[in-house]
Amino acid sequence: MSILKLSLLAVIAPLCWGPFYKTESPEKVPYPEGYRRWTHVRSGLTDADSPDYQLTGGLHHIYANDKAMEGYESGRFPDGSVIVYDLLKVQTKDGVTREGERRYLTVMHKDSKRFADTGGWGFEVFLKNSRTDRTVWPNAKMKCFDCHTNRKDQDFVFGSFRK
Amino acid sequence: MSILKLSLLAVIAPLCWGPFYKTESPEKVPYPEGYRRWTHVRSGLTDADSPDYQLTGGLHHIYANDKAMEGYESGRFPDGSVIVYDLLKVQTKDGVTREGERRYLTVMHKDSKRFADTGGWGFEVFLKNSRTDRTVWPNAKMKCFDCHTNRKDQDFVFGSFRK
């Protein structure tokens, strides 16, 4: 292969591999270490009467770090904002429902450069108590963002802080 | 009245009025300003199937300040520890239960000197969103502490921090 052809390949190859590389290895959202000491935003319960029971059945709590709390107040979430949706199984006995094991942890992480394709937000779901077992990456757009686009006027965030 | 009698009265009166004063005006627990940004300890739901529904029906969240979090870790709560039980009404529709209005806010405030008669803990219930409408003071012993004595081995605190 001539030097000219090699040089051309060096220029063209990244243009071809770029999109594949981007699809195969987009940015990963870090596990939200320490989120249990963050601010509790609000909670909700989904039971077997809901059509969403299989997906979201249980008691969920939303947590936000300090930057995300600025976002809940202003409506615009600064880079570094992290919001967690913590979903727990429940046990009900004699009219009392108690928290059980964790089902999964959903994370939204704001970084307008790293996650420019999805409104500046990275999305991830960590199964049970795992810090590495991910179910969203690398498909955040399809699995999360396509629905969050409905909340563009709220910077793609559902819900509000319960005072 | 002679000066001697007046002097005797000045010594004796506080001894007589003391117990009355103590019963009528024990220390009040301050409203836990800013508790919504404290750590969320755990939650639970009480529904109409529970015999406690009238008293505790709804979704409750427990919050703890940083000193109380030390207590949850060590089992001994230092002075300044404050724990809040935040009880909300709920609305359930199509299998989804959402948070509603606040029913009341129960507060435990650790001060081993001010609340020496009740295990070092002051107790109060603030109705709805009021910072002044109290239902416990001045009867914390009967209304709260008599039950909390069952948890003497846990420094009179029910429950634990859900990790």
CB-count exposure of residue A48 (10 Å: 0-12, 13-18, 19+): exposed
Residues from chain B contacting residue A162 (CB–CB below 8 Å): 99
> DSSP of A2-21, one letter per residue?
-HHHHHHHHHHHHHHHHHHH
Pairwise CB contact (< 8 Å): B40 & A61: yes
Q: How far apart are the first and last CA of chain A?
A: 69
pTM, two decimal places: 0.85
CA distance A81 to A111: 8
Q: Which of A149, A85, A74 has its CA nearest to residue A119? A: A149
Q: A146: Cβ–Cβ under 8 A, 6 or more apart, which residues?
A: none
Residue A4 pLDDT > 60: no
A153 touches chain B (CB under 8 A): no
Q: B33: Cβ–Cβ under 8 A, 6 or more apart, which residues?
A: none
A41-100 tens-digit pLDDT: 999 999 999 999 999 999 999 999 999 999 999 999 999 999 999 999 999 999 999 999
CA distance B9 to A125: 74
CA distance B129 to B24: 25
SS3 A35: helix
Pairwise CB contact (< 8 Å): B50 & A98: no
B163 touches chain A (CB under 8 A): yes
B17-60 tens-digit pLDDT: 444 444 444 789 999 999 999 999 999 999 999 999 999 999 99
Question: A11 versus A99: which is more confidently predicted?
Answer: A99
Q: What is the ipTM of this complex?
A: 0.84
Q: Are B60 and B92 spatial neighbours (Cβ–Cβ below 8 Å)?
A: no
Q: Chain B interface, mutation test: which of A33, A38, A50, A52, most B Cβ atoms within 10 Å?
A: A50
Structure tokens at A35: 């989120």
- The answer for A161, left when phi > 0, alpha when psi is -120 to 50, beta otherwise, is beta
Cβ atoms within 10 Å, residue B155: 19
Average pLDDT over all residues of chain A: 89
Amino acid (one-letter) located at A46: T
